[in-house]
Every structure is written in structure tokens, then in C-alpha cells.
């Protein structure tokens, strides 16, 4: 597998080795020994929950994070294409306000490792997309946080102008309007 380091510390793009032939393909979506060599899931962390979403073209999910019990997340797409984004929203971080993006798809088989403490979101580029992600902590709705997908301080270059958002995501504030104690530390 190929590991691509990004401008955000610890955020990695994983390009697994794919064995293609006339029948289709085979790849390892996760191998604890191999991934641990690259710090995934991370020191003292283990995966405890796996989630799946199916979304349609134009859906944008995010930017989400957990405030006091941050989750590390390993994202992949089994069907379709998404524009995947990780943003540093920790005001004490040297990379505060920086973000990275990549396309995850069933064609490129990439994965995105998002260490605890970053905000994450994606928008769907294909007719539908099935996204799977493993988490290093259990979801706690009382600890859930987020920042508006169109936060001007982040200035993310989303490939969509008018996304379909959940009611929760419609209500997310900008960083300027989010109390400091509701951001990852």
C-alpha cells in the first residue's frame, strides 16, 4: 500500500494495493499489523464502531467533529465518488484553518485517515455513494460538534454551490460564531 502524507499532521491518504483480474478485484480494506506501522488507528486507540452512509448526488455531510471525546476515523467509499475534506478547527493548532481534500471512490480505492481532533466532511459527486468509516470512540450525540460547510475562514473550495444538507448541518455555525469550548482542543 502507498501512504500519502498531507499538510495536516497525522492526516493520511491510503492507497491500498489492488489485485485486478478478469473476475474483478481484491484488496485489504484494513490489516491491523500493516496499518499500525503507519500509526493507524494511533497510539492507545482502537476501532470500536463502524458506520455506513448512502447518499445521493449533491448531498454534503459535515463538517463534523467531537468536542471532548474526539474520534479517529478511517473513511472509504465502496460505491460512487465523494469529495472528501479534513479541516483543522483547533484554534491552538499551528495548522488552524488549513484543510485538505481528495477524491475517494470505488475506482481509486483510496482511504482517508482522520486522526482525533479534526473536522471532516464530504460531498457526493456520483449518482449515489456508499461511505464506510471506522471510529476509535463511540458516537456521543451530546459531544457532537461541527462547523458550517461554507465557513469563510476555512474557504473550502467545494465542487458544489447548493448542497443538500441535513437540518443539523444547516444549523452549524461558522468558526467565528462557535464558542471556543465547543471546538476540539
What are the strands, taking DSSP E only, across the chain? 2-5, 12-15, 19-21, 24-26, 49-56, 60-66, 73-79, 81-87, 99-105, 111-114, 119-124, 128-135, 144-146
The answer to whether 62 and 120 are in contact (CB under 8 A) is: yes
Catalytic entry in 109, 118, 120, 133: 133
Catalytic entry in 64, 109, 118, 120: 64
Q: Which three cell numbers stand for residue 181?
A: 469550548
Active site residue 133: yes
Active site residue 64: yes
Cα 133 to Cα 30, 41, 179, distances in angstroms: 11, 12, 28
Which positions are catalytic? 64, 133
Amino acid at each position: 500500500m502507498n501512504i500519502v502524507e498531507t499538510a495536516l499532521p497525522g492526516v493520511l491518504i491510503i492507497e491500498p494495493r489492488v489485485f485486478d483480474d478478469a473476475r474483478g478485484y481484491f484488496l485489504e480494506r484494513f490489516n491491523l499489523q500493516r496499518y499500525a506501522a503507519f500509526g493507524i488507528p494511533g497510539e492507545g486507540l482502537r476501532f470500536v464502531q463502524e458506520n455506513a452512509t448512502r447518499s445521493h448526488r449533491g448531498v454534503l455531510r459535515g463538517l463534523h467533529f467531537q468536542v471532548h471525546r474526539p474520534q479517529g476515523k478511517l473513511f472509504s467509499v465502496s460505491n460512487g465518488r465523494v469529495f472528501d475534506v479534513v479541516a483543522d478547527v483547533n484554534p491552538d493548532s499551528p495548522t488552524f484553518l488549513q484543510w485538505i481534500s481528495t477524491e475517494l471512490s470505488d475506482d481509486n480505492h483510496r482511504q482517508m485517515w482522520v486522526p482525533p481532533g479534526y473536522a471532516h466532511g464530504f460531498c457526493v459527486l456520483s449518482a449515489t455513494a456508499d461511505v464506510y468509516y471506522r471510529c476509535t470512540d463511540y458516537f456521543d450525540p451530546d459531544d457532537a460538534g461541527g462547523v458550517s460547510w461554507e465557513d469563510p475562514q476555512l474557504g473550502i473550495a467545494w465542487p458544489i454551490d447548493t448542497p443538500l444538507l441535513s437540518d443539523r448541518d444547516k444549523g452549524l455555525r461558522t468558526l467565528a460564531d462557535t464558542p471556543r469550548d465547543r471546538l476540539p482542543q
